[in-house]
Amino acid sequence: MSAVHFTDQDFEEKVLKSPIPVLVDFYADWCSPCQQAGPIIDELVEEYKDKMLIGKVNVDESHNTSGKYGVMSIPTMVVFKDGKEVERVSGFGGKDGVVKLINKVI
């Protein structure tokens, strides 16, 4: 199962209004660490499907959302709960790093 792709148009509805926490991976197609993170993010979608929505925002396509949340480097992973940012990490620390981020919230 693949991560959901969020855009400027649907971010508020799908992320901020979600009844469960949401992990958002801000990425770009040309970013090497983002390419490494992609398959792991997709793998975690299935593992956490009942506890957390996991998705991605392409910073090159969704300038407004990445700008609004001050994403200055990629990958940046942000966890939202009840419409608010609750955790953030920049860079990719492997699967363990992402799992640790998720487990802080669920």
User: Bridge partners of 89?
Assistant: 77
Digit-coded pLDDT (tens) for 54-96 = 999 999 999 999 999 999 999 999 999 999 999 999 999 999 9
Tokens representing 45 are 């979608």
Ramachandran sector of residue 91 (left: φ over 0; alpha: ψ -120 to 50; beta: rest): left
Active site residue 29: no
**Strand arrangement, sheet containing 22-27:** 4-6, 53-58, 22-27, 76-81, 84-90
Q: Which of 31, 41, 52, 53 is catalytic?
A: 31
4-101 CATH fold: Glutaredoxin (3.40.30)
Is omega for the bond preceding 75 within 30 degrees of 0, making it cis? yes
Residue where the block lists tokens 């975690």: 44
| Res. 1 pLDDT band, cuts 50 70 90 | confident
Q: Which of 15, 22, 24, 34 is catalytic?
A: 34
Domain boundaries, the chain: 4-101
For residue 2, pLDDT beyond 90: no
Active site residue 34: yes
Q: Cβ distance 40 to 98 under 8 Å? A: yes
Q: What is the pTM of this model?
A: 0.94
Helices (H) and strands (E) in the chain, counts: 4, 5
